[in-house]
Amino acid sequence: MTILEFILWSLLKVAVVTVVMLLGIAYTVLLERKLVGRIQNRWGPNRVGPFGLLQPLVDGAKSFLKEDLVPQGVYKPLYLLAPILSLGCALISISVVPFGEPKIGPKGLDLFSISNVNIGLLVILGVTSMGVYGIALAGWSSNNKYSLLGALRASAQLVSYELALGLSLVGVVMRAGSLNLRVIVEQQSKLGIASWNIFGGFQFVAFFIYLIAAFAETNRSPFDLVEAESELAGGYNIEYSSMKFAMFFMAEYGNMINVGCVATLLFLGGWTSPFGDLISPPQNILAHALFPIMWFVLKVFCFLCLYVWVRGTLPRFRYDQLMNFGWKWLLPIAILNIVATSLWLAYR
Amino acid sequence: MHLIVFILFAVFCLAGAVNLLLQTHPINSALSLIVVMTSLAVLYLLLGAEFLAAAQVIVYSGAIMVLFTFVVMLLNAGREERTLGSKAAKRIGFPAVVVILGVLSTLVLHVEGLGNAGPDNPITTTEDLSRVLFHELLLPFEVTSVLILIAILGAVALARKGHGDHEPDNKSAQEGTVAK
C-alpha cells in the first residue's frame, strides 16, 4: 500500500467515524432525555418528528442560530480555546478504538479502527487527562466566581479519580500482557461471555472501580459537582452561550461514549459475540463484517443506558465525601485488585 | 517524514519554552509549559520510546500541570511585575548561560557516549522497558519508590502541621495533590 493510499483511507475512516460519533452524541442526548423522562414518569421530548427523533437536529440548529455572546470581563484567548480543547479531546480518543473484526478489508487494511497502536490504552488515558484543561480554562477565563469554583472542583476531582481509574485497568492489562486494545479484546474472545474480563477474568471489582471513576471523570451524576445546578448554577460553562455551550455539552456526551467504548473493550469483550465460538461466524463476508460492529454498538448502548439510569437514580455526592471516597476507598481497593490479580496469575 | 515531524515539534517545544519565560501572566506560562511537555512526548515517540511518551502526557501534561493550573487558579495569581534588571546582567548573563550549557552538554555527550538515538530508532516496547525496570534495575527502582514514599509522608506531615487535626476533609484532599 502506497503512502497516498494510506492517507486517503485514513481520511475516509476519520470522516466516517467522526460523523458517526457526532450523530451518536446527538442521539445520546435524546436517549438521556427520553430515559430520564420515563424514570421521572413523564414523556420527554416527543413533539419534533416521530417519537421526538428529530429533536437533536432541531437543538443543533437552535444553538447554531443563537447569538454568540462574549462577555466583557473574560480573558478572550483562553475563553475561546476552552470549548475547542474540550470537544477536541473528546473526539480524539475514538481514533484508537477498534470496533470490528481486524482482518476484513482490501489489501490487509484495518477497516474497523482508525489506527492500531501498541499503546492504545495509554493514548486514551492521556487524551482523557488532557480533557480537563477545557473545563479548567473555561472556568478560569470566564472571570466568574461560580465558573471558577466549578473549574477548581473539576481539576481536583479529575486528578483524584484518574489514579483509581488507571490502577483499575492494570489487572486487565496484566491478564492480556499488552496495552494494545485489539490484543486485549482478542484475549477475551474464546468462550464468549465466560471469558470476558468482567466474568471469566474475575475483574468485576476492577470493573466497578472503573465504572465509578469513569462517572467521576466525565463529571456525570452522582459526581456532577463541577456543574452542580443547585450550587453553582451550571459551573464552568455559565458564561458560555450558543454553539460554544453546545460544544461543552457535546464534549460531555462524547466522553460518555468514549468511556462506554473503553469499558466494552476492556471488560465486555469488545466486538466479539457473547456466545464465543458456540455459534460459528457467518460465511457471508458482509455479515461477518457487520455482526461484530453490531455487538460493539449494542454493548456501548447498554453502557450508556446504565449512565442514564444512574443519573436518574442517585443523588449528588458532597465534595468531602467525593474526596474521601476516591482516596480512602477506590484507590486502596484498586491496588488490592492488582495484588490479587498478580497472585492469581503467578500461582494459577 | 520523521525529520519533518521532529523539526516541527522541536520548534513547538522551543517556542513554548521561550514563551514560558516571556509571558507575564502565570496561567499563560503554565500553558506554555504544557505545550513544551506535550511536544517532548512527541519527540520521545519519534525516538521509539512509546511508553515514555504516553507516561509523559499522562503524568506531566495531564496530572502535574493540572495541579499547576489548579494552584494558579486557587491563588488567582495576578500579573508578574517586570523588574528592570541591570544591563550588565543582560549583556553578560545570557551569553554566559548559553556557553556554559553548550560546554556541559557537549562534555556529557562525549564522556558518556550518548547521543546515538535518532528519529529512526526501533520501537522500545513496554515489555522491554518493564523487563529492564523490574529485572535488571529492580533495586534502584525499589529504592526510588521508597524515596518517593518518604517524600509523600514528609509532605503530608508538613501539610498537617499548619491545619491542626480538626479538618479531616481538607487533609485528604491535600494527600491527593501530594501523592500525584
Q: Which pLDDT tens digit goes with each residue over A242-278?
A: 888 888 888 889 988 998 999 888 888 878 777 776 7
Q: How close B141 gets to chain A, by Cα (Å)?
A: 18
Q: Does B178 touch chain A (CB under 8 A)?
A: no
d(CA A24, CA A258): 11
Could you report the predicted ipTM of this complex, rounded to two decimals?
0.78
d(CA B125, CA B9): 22
Q: What's the average model confidence in pLDDT over B61-87?
A: 75
The single residue listed with the C-alpha cell 475516509 is A12
Residues B146 and B165 in one domain: yes
Q: Mind listing the pLDDT tens digit for each residue in B68-77?
A: 888 887 776 6
Write the residue in A132, A156, A163 that is nearest to B173 by C-beta: A156
Write the residue in A119, A156, A158 that is nearest to B50 by C-beta: A119
Cis peptide before A50 (omega within 30 of 0): no
Question: Residue A151: its chain B contacts at CB < 8 A?
Answer: 73
Q: Mind listing the pLDDT tens digit for each residue in A67-123?
A: 888 888 888 888 888 889 889 988 888 888 888 777 766 666 777 778 888 888 888
Handedness of CA A173, A174, A177, A183 (dihedral sign): negative
Residues B87 and B115 in one domain: yes
Copy the grid coordinates of residue A179.
Answer: 496495552
The percent of residues above 70 in pLDDT, for chain B, comes to 77
Question: Is the predicted pLDDT of residue A209 greater than 50, yes or no?
Answer: yes
Residues B12 and B89 in one domain: yes
Residues B19 and B89 in one domain: yes
Q: What's the average model confidence in pLDDT over A208-224?
A: 85
Cβ <8 Å between A126 and B57: yes
Residues B104 and B163 in one domain: no
- Name every residue in A having a CB less than 8 A away from some CB of B: 78, 118-119, 122-123, 125-126, 128-130, 132-133, 136-137, 139-140, 148, 151-152, 155-156, 158-160, 162-163, 166, 177, 179, 319-320, 323-324, 326-328
For chain A, what is the largest distance between any 2 Cα atoms, rounded to a whole number of angstroms? Answer: 65
Cβ <8 Å between B73 and A326: no
Q: Name which of A74, A121, A129 to mutate to probe chain B: the one with the most chain B Cβ atoms within 10 A of its Cβ.
A: A129
Residues B128 and B160 in one domain: no
d(CA B39, CA B8): 9
Residues B154 and B100 in one domain: no
Residues B10 and B94 in one domain: yes
Q: Which of A134, A145, A165, A142 is nearest to A334 (CA)?
A: A165
Residues B102 and B176 in one domain: no
pLDDT, position B174: 47
Q: Mind listing the pLDDT tens digit for each residue in B145-167?
A: 999 999 999 988 888 866 555 54
Residue range of the domain that includes B114: 2-136
Q: What's the average model confidence in pLDDT over A17-40?
A: 89
Q: What does A274-286 look like in DSSP terms, one character per residue?
A: TTTTSSPPPSSHH
Residues B91 and B28 in one domain: yes
Contact by Cβ (8 Å): A6, A12: no
d(CA A278, CA A98): 23
Residues B24 and B56 in one domain: yes
Q: Which of A186, A131, A171, A174 is nearest to A154 (CA)?
A: A131
Contact by Cβ (8 Å): A124, A98: no
Q: What is the pTM of this model?
A: 0.82
- Number of domains forming the structure of chain B: 2
Residue of chain A nearest B167, judged by CA positions: A320
Residues B6 and B46 in one domain: yes
Q: Which of A284, A266, A95, A111 is nearest to A186 (CA)?
A: A266
pLDDT, position A105: 64
Q: What's the average model confidence in pLDDT over A297-321?
A: 87
pLDDT band with cut points at 50, 70 and 90 for residue B134: confident
